[in-house]
Structure 1
């Protein structure tokens, strides 16, 4: 692991890695109702407490099954992590162009 980047822990698989390899998720800022929607924050700029997950369907599914999003984000009720699952599925089918590659 490179010590130049902050190290974060995936809430799904519980493995540690550089923050640049994980996806930050937060509770949607304007979340009305009884459910708290968890949304991806790929730019890592949204306000509020964040949790980190590998951008893979397996880690997202594991985090949902373990109810890790709710605990990590410290929300008092049920969470809706469907937006995160949809975002990761989209990444699987259409990976973003990485302009930083050499």
Structure 2
């Protein structure tokens, strides 16, 4: 018998935080050719079925920031990609980090 637990569905790894989670909890990113023939652009794939290699990301601003700072998209696609439009492209699906109770800065004056 296997010690592995059965997953509810396909598992993917977030390129921002590197957590493995169910595919339905992530958004898919794809590389598309630039209209001017320059560096390919990274775009959101809302259907999750665009052809070609994909990368997966939690719909969270923190994961997006980590992925962009660490160059995770270029590694995932094994080539340079233009991420300039990505934040605007993901605007409708990305959630902002929310402050939890107790996270407020302490005033030590």
Show the counterpart of 1:100. Answer: none
Q: State the structure with more CA Rg.
A: 2
| Structure 2, unpaired ranges of 5+ | 96-109
Give the structure 1 partner of residue 83 of structure 2: 81
Task: Give the alignment partner of residue 28 of structure 2, picking from 24, 28, 32.
Answer: 24
1:48 is the counterpart of 2:38: no
Distance 1:69 1:82 in 2: 12
Match of 1:96 in 2: none
Aligned to 2:101: none
**Displacement of 1:87 after TM fit?**
3.0
Per residue, is there more helix in 1 or in 2?
1
Segments of 4+ in structure 1 off by > 3 A? none
TM-score normalised by the chain length of structure 2: 0.72
C-alpha contact 1:25 1:40 (8 A) present in aligned 2: yes
Aligned length: 90
Structure 1 CA distance for aligned equivalents of residues 26 and 94 of structure 2: 14
Shift of 1:5: 1.0
Match of 1:6 in 2: 10
RMSD, aligned CA: 2.0
TM-score between the two structures when normalised by the length of structure 1: 0.76
5+ residue gaps, structure 1, are: 94-102
**For the residues of structure 2 that align with 1:43 and 1:16, how far apart are their CA atoms?**
20
